[in-house]
Structures are given as C-alpha cells and as structure tokens.
Structure 1
Amino acid sequence: MGTVTDGRDDVVGERRHLINLAYRLLGSVAEAEDAVQEAYARWYALSRERRAAVDRPGAWLTTVATRVCLDQLGSARARRERYVGEWIPEPLPDPTEWAGDPADRITLDESVNMAFLVVLEAMTPAERVAFVLHDVFRYPFPEVAAMVGRSPAACRQLATSARRRLRTAAPGPAPAPAPAGLVRAFKRAWEARDIDALVSLLAPDATLVADGGGLAGALLRPLRGATRIADYLLFIATKAPDLTLLERTVNGTPGLVARTSGHTVTVAAFDTTPAGVTRIWAVRNPEKLGPWQTEG
C-alpha cells in the first residue's frame, strides 16, 4: 500500500478489522484479502478533497468492503457449484504461527470455528452479511442497512432468517470443539494404526468431509460412520508412511496438521459431543494451506 500524504493515514489502521470482517463473510483468507485490497483501492482512487470530506473513513471502508464481499458471495456460489468435491472454509492457524503480515492475522473466537463457518455457507449472501454485521460485529441495524443498501427492517428479517438456519443446522445442544485431550488421543490412535481406538473415539454416526478442490486427493462426498472413517484414516496412513501428525490450533480450537517431508498436506478441524468426535473437516486443497506452510 502506498504512503498517504493527505492526513488520512489512519485508514491503514482499519486493515485488521476489515480482514476479520471479510474472512467471516467469505470463509477464505485469500478472498478476504482481495476484498480489503479492493476497498483500499477505491479509497485511494478518490480525490484528496473527497477523502477529506469523509467524516468516518473506517465506516466508509467497512461499507465498501462489505459490498465487495456481498458481490463476491454471489459469484462464489456459482464457482462452488463447479468445485471438485466438497468446499470447506479456509482453516486458520494460531496467530503465533501465522506466516503472513501481522495486519492480516484474524482474531480467533467462536465466530470462526469451522462448524460455525460451515453453517454460514448455507445462508444466502444477504442473510450472511446481515447476520455477521449485526450478531457478530454488533453493528446496529440502521448501520447495517446503510452498508448493504436495504431498510433496517429488511436487515432485521435477514438476520432472523439466518439465526433460524443456525438453529436448524444444530438443533438441541450445540456440538463442542474437540478438547485437546481427545484430539491427542485421536492422533495417537491414528499413528498407532489402532482401528479399535479410532472407532471408540468417533461417534457412531460421525462424518468426515475432505476438501481437495481437484488439486489434491480427497473424498468427493462426505464419509459417514465411525468404522468407515477409521478404515479410511488407516488407508491414508498406509499410503503415506512418512506422514507426521501435529497438534495445532485450527480456527481457535484443537485440531491436527498432517505433514509429509515437512510440507503441510492436510489441516483437520473437529467437532464433538459426549458420544465422541462427530465431525471432521479435512482441508487438503493446497491453495487453502498457505498460512500453514511453516516449520514447527
């Protein structure tokens, strides 16, 4: 980003907030960075006089970034219909292990855990934007309305519809992120190729979703059932004898990273209930693993 000389350098400090917002709206670090870059490009395309006339540059940038994300969400739906296999949101490492610019590090909280992001993917673009702006970032509906070009009442209804989708996706007690002890036990069972231990750690109706995007070997459809998942994991271990498993924070919760020859090939996030691991999301698409390509 070039140096600004008109007294509005304060806008650079908005970058982290914008990246956090855009990631939650898009589920992709790369797309979030593109959206924020576009918002800044439009800001710097304004004349000096027009920039000086903006009372709240941060609000201006947030509005532009939101609208860019809304447009991207519409086109992303079409792209994901052509996506090879399942599409999973891009996984996030712990900020201390982030390989990129510190300004691009995304704050980890419950609004970026994988289960939550997957439900957001099921919302319409308008629902997702209204819900994230209001329920996650706490913008009042009049401000949300100004950002998305709808009435406050319409935005309130969109957020209500989004909450209904959340309740439908997770009726009853919400699944919990896997505790570190359970992830560690899962790692050890996988490394030992102990199928009985793996099955015992998985809920009987557990689901494994893998995302290779046609660029890495992965399941084209979700795999269901504890025994089938355990068999598949042991097959993977047999095919990659040099596979190394590491316990890492994935989107703010305990997860596993698989490496071969020091190169990250899979990042796995987990959900659990008292019955065991209920869902595993395994991201193998190398285009989504950039922040994970560090030694550690």
Structure 2
Amino acid sequence: MTTERGAGSLQEMLDERRHLLEIARWMFDSAAMADRVVQETYRRWYALGDAERAGIAVPRAWLTWTAGAVCLELLAGSEPAAAGGGRTHVPEPVQGRPATFDGHDRVVRRFAAACEAGDAAALRAVLATNAMVVSDGGGRVRTAVRPTHGADAVAHFVTELLAGQAGTELSVGPVNGRAGLVLRQAGRAVAVVAVSVAGTEVTAVWIMLNPDKLRHWHRG
C-alpha cells in the first residue's frame, strides 16, 4: 500500500521534473541532452532500493543533486552510468529542505558577498558539506570541467573563477526565476551562476560560461 508520505514524495518528484529539465537545458542548450540528463536522473531514483528511497527525506533535493552529478559526467566526456548498466558512485546528496524564496535570496547574497571578497572561509561557511559545482567549461573566463564535490573544493573552484577578476563586476540578479549571480566585464556578462539552496546552505552551484548563452544578461 502506498503511504501518505510516499504519495507526497512521488508528487514532489514529478513536480521537480520541469525544474530539472530547465537546469539541464540551461547547461547544454539542447532539448535532447536535457531529456537525457533527466531520464538518467530518474533511472538512478528507480535503481534505488525501497529502503534507500524511504530514507530520502526530500526527493526533490536528491533529484536536483543527482542531475548535477549527471551533468558533470556528460560535461567531462564520460558516459553516465546508464551506458554500462551500473550506478555511478558519488557522495551522498545533501538532504536539507529547499529554501523559501526569501531564504534563498538571503543565502545567495551571503554567497555573493563571499565571492566578491574572495573570502574562501566565508564561502565554506555558506556551502553545505557535500556541495557541488557544475560548469559548462567554456567562455571568456576559462576553467577546466571536472567533478567538484565538497565545501573546500567548491570554495576553491568558485574563488578562482569569480573572485579578483580584473575589471569585473559581480551582482545578484534573477537567474532561472530566483536570485543568482552575474559576472560582467564592461557591461557584458561573462559568467552567470544559478544556485541551489537547502535551508541556509548552498547545495549546488551551476555556472554558465558559454558566451552564446549569456547575451540575455548583457547590459546596454
């Protein structure tokens, strides 16, 4: 028999599909790739045992985090686990409750202030222990695409990418319907950052660097 909690979790999972598609499409600019990311994310959900699924307090947080892991695999050029029929072993996803709209805004502003100051300690303080960063790896601000998990590694990655860039301006603005970060040089966006938040912590940082995708955020 389906429990009330199980039914609620299923509804959360279905409601999250649109969000997962939007993030994947934002990273890859391809409907086919976005659908591939979401399909693999759901495959991993259904590959879990009943006890494992029952232990996931917030399915949408698990799904968002797992979609990020799939994006990292595809961006790095290695096929996701589905190609081999097995499961990719990655650290356990963050299990916090998704933040309210206002709570998300407050956390992102803390995150932005730490980025702007280049303060790695302040960044670690706002990041969940098992946070991840996903980047498309292209654009004027170059960075290698690599799986990056954990507050220390993410803080280092983000500090190198967003802090101390000569002639740049870092601002908070709407990204995918919620507060995110935009890095500009002479009014032209060179990086846009979407942020996933649970409770009072950043759980995932999604960085777009491809200049073809950044025109919407240019000024003037």
TM-score of the two chains, using structure 1 as the length reference = 0.44
Structure 2 residue aligned with 1:231: 156
Contact 1:216 1:286 in 2 (8 A): no
Structure 1 residue aligned with 2:136: 211
Structure 2 residue aligned with 1:7: none
Query: Where do 1:33-112 residues align within 5 Å?
Result: 76-77=32-33
| Structure 2 CA distance for partners of 1:249 and 1:237, relative to 1, 3 Å | closer
Residue 209 (structure 2) pairs with residue 284 (structure 1): yes
After superposition, give the CA deviation of every residue in 1:87-135 in whole Å (9 maximum; x if it has no partner): xxxxxxxxxxxxxxxxxxxxxxxxxxxxxxx6x44245xxxxxxxxxxx
SS in 2 for 1:208: strand
Residue 231 of structure 1, CA deviation: 1.9
Structure 2 residue aligned with 1:264: 189
SS in 1 for 2:160: helix
Amino acid across the alignment from 1:230: A
Query: Where do 1:13-32 residues align within 5 Å?
Result: 27=25
SS in 1 for 2:203: strand
Distance 1:278 1:29 in 2: 17
Residue 244 of structure 1, CA deviation: 1.1
Residue 174 (structure 2) pairs with residue 249 (structure 1): yes
Residue 166 of structure 1, CA deviation: 8.3
SS in 1 for 2:180: strand
The number of aligned residues is 154
Identity %: 29
| Structure 2 CA distance for partners of 1:166 and 1:240, relative to 1, 3 Å | same
Between Structure 1 and Structure 2, the one with more helix by share is 1
Distance 1:268 1:290 in 2: 14
Between Structure 1 and Structure 2, the one with more strand by share is 2
Contact 2:27 2:136 in 1 (8 A): no
Amino acid across the alignment from 2:104: P
Structure 2 residue aligned with 1:179: 104
| Structure 2 CA distance for partners of 1:238 and 1:267, relative to 1, 3 Å | closer
Give the alignment's Cα RMSD to 1 decimal.
3.6
TM-score of the two chains, using structure 2 as the length reference = 0.57
Structure 2 residue aligned with 1:192: 117
Distance 1:30 1:163 in 2: 15
Distance 1:220 1:292 in 2: 23
Structure 1 gaps, min length 5: 1-22, 32-71, 78-117, 125-161
Structure 2 gaps, min length 5: 1-20, 62-97
Structure 2 residue aligned with 1:122: 37
After superposition, give the CA deviation of every residue in 1:55-92 in whole Å (9 maximum; x if it has no partner): xxxxxxxxxxxxxxxxx85xx55xxxxxxxxxxxxxxx
Amino acid across the alignment from 1:27: R
Residue 263 of structure 1, CA deviation: 1.1
Residue 212 of structure 1, CA deviation: 2.9
